[in-house]
Amino acid sequence: DTAIVWYRNDLRTGDNAALLAASQHRAVVPVFIHQPVTPARPLGGARNWWLHHSLARLGEQLESLGAPLLLLTGDPEELVPRLVQSTGASAVYWNRRYDPAYQDADAALKHQLQSDGIVAESFAGQLLHEPTRLRTGSGGFYKVYSPFWRAIEPDLDNRPPAPAPQTLAPLVPVPASENLDDWKLLPTGPDWAGGLVKAWLPGEEGAKERLAEFLDERLPDYAERRDVPGVAATSGLSPHLAHGEITPAQILEALKHSDTEASTADRTVFRKEIGWREFSWHLLANRPDLANSNYSSKFDNFPWIAPSDQALSAWRKGMTGYPIVDAGMRQLWQTGWMHNRVRMVTASFLTKHLMIDWRQGESWFWDTLVDADPASNAASWQWVAGSGADAAPYFRIFNPVLQGEKFDPEGDYVRQFVPELAQMPNRYLHKPWAAPDDVLAKAGVRLGETYPEPVVDHQTVRNRALAAYQQIKDVA
């Protein structure tokens, strides 16, 4: 008998319950379906780049296990039943994806298959908790992180990862597959992916290497250094998690068995970050419109400023004149990733300094991040903007100069991504406009020519943002 494994955002062979279940059958047909039209938001450019390479790696792995990956284009609700017929499969397995946009389609397909007498089963793996099942004492969902964490933390280690199958028997003859290159997931026209190629190794092997390197080299001191963007102190696992090349259970298992010299604080803080990912998915599963609507409805009346092309484009290109903001936005463009501290600073700058609606920033991140994630991106943007669940208080407006001086005191980060300021002394690096003329001249900086003047004045726009907040606060 034959089993189909429908791959989605779980591009791995290890800790893959669907694949493991299928491996018990006589023949296995793993399939990935490219959906040009989907009920969910289409992936952005950076994630498509990643997806291409990840699928290529997965294809090689499955081939070496014995059952090649089948690539198809179209609507899974039609294609999966058709594939069941053409292969004579008796079972279809998949791992649950928690994007609410897919819930109805996945449930309908399962129902349809089951009523045709086919075994259709879905498994957990992407998350450590079931986001719509976890309930508070009063029956609702968790809106605050700490109680959420307390509720799921004790169970985290009770889900040991599943082993990868050793071999998979193919269906003979192997069904004909489309060609990955024909899907045109890679950039056409200007090739913006050069920096991504240097920074990342998509695929399950790349994820494992990242994890091992992180545990050995970066976990010690993680608690302290994770906030310093100029050193590679965090795991860089987010794009691998976003594509399901590794699971949170695998990460926690490796953490538990790691004999690294990391302190309890380092380990606890890291686990809690994994917890923030869970919390974001918990929010999205219970508030499916999280990427579109203010979680807190009082923000529906917030007087956002219609973005002028100039302001939005200065932010996107990293040309705001605030070095830490510009370094972050350029890191994003060049590598498809941005350090968490700087994500907070750049998001705060867009929503509070420029007073541009957080949805504009969320969608730019969606397109440019290799780890763009429907839950973490939306939840984090709302958190920074002040409109989210358990959000940062609105009046906490990051001062980009002080943030730069505190977290990038030697300027390593800014010098790397804003090379035109590389010769500026530390004292003025985060506020070049304050430097005396001779210092600027010596550093080869001509403000307004080699590097922009600040697009806004911090104190002025800080007051403007606070006044705007006062308006909605008074109404609420």
Alpha-carbon distance values, 121 to 5, 16, 162, 282 (Å) = 10, 13, 16, 22
Please tell me the distance from the alpha carbon of residue 130 to that of residue 174, in angstroms, as a whole number. 35
380 binds ligand FAD (CB under 6 A): yes
344 binds ligand FAD (CB under 6 A): yes
| Separation between Cα atoms, residue 426 and residue 441, nearest integer Å | 15
Examine the residue annotation and report whether 192 is marked as an active-site residue of this protein. no
Q: Which is nearer to ligand FAD, 30 or 236 (CB)?
A: 236
Q: Which two tokens stand for residue 89?
A: 């499969």
- Provide the 3-class DSSP secondary structure of residue 7: strand
- Which member of 211, 350, 369, 443 binds ligand FAD (CB under 6 A)? 369
Query: Rounded CA gap, 420 and 440, in Å?
Result: 11
User: What is the rounded distance in angstroms from the CA atom of residue 460 to the CA atom of residue 345?
Assistant: 18
Q: Does 274 bind ligand FAD (CB under 6 A)?
A: yes
**Catalytic residue list contains 304:** yes
Q: Is 130 a catalytic residue?
A: no
Active site residue 358: yes
Asked whether position 320 contacts ligand FAD by CB under 6 A, the answer is no
Strand partners, 31: 6, 70
Catalytic residue among 50, 315, 381, 383: 381
Contact 282, 129 (CB under 8 A): yes
List 377, 382, 387, 403, residue binding ligand FAD (CB under 6 A): 377
Question: With respect to ligand FAD, which residue has the nearer C-beta, 89 or 332?
Answer: 332
In contact, 270 and 263? CB cutoff 8 Å: no
Other C-beta atoms closer than 10 Å to the C-beta of 61 total 18
Among 149, 183, 192, 276, the active-site one is 276
CA-based nearest residue to 91, from 79, 78, 80, 102:
80
Q: How many CB atoms lie within 10 A of CB 121?
A: 17
Residue 337 is a catalytic residue: no
Q: Is 357 in the site for ligand FAD (CB under 6 A)?
A: no
Active-site residue, 50 included? no
**Binder among 96, 267, 316, 343 for ligand FAD (CB under 6 A):** 343
Q: What's the chain's Rg over C-alpha atoms?
A: 24
What x-and-dash track marks residues 199-238 binding ligand FAD by CB under 6 A? ---------------------------x-------xxxxx
Report d(CA 93, CA 106) in Å as an integer: 11
Binding of ligand FAD by 126 (CB under 6 A): no
How many CB atoms are located within 10 Å of the residue 172 CB?
A: 6
If one asks whether residue 420 binds ligand FAD (CB under 6 A), the answer comes out as no
Minimum CB separation of residue 204 from ligand FAD in Å reads 16
- Segment contacting ligand FAD by CB under 6 A, of 56-64, 328-336, 379-387, 432-440: 379-387
Catalytic residues: 273, 276, 304, 340, 358, 381
Residues forming the site for ligand FAD (CB under 6 A):
226, 234-238, 241-242, 273-274, 276-277, 280, 340, 343-344, 347, 365, 369, 371-373, 376-377, 380-381, 384
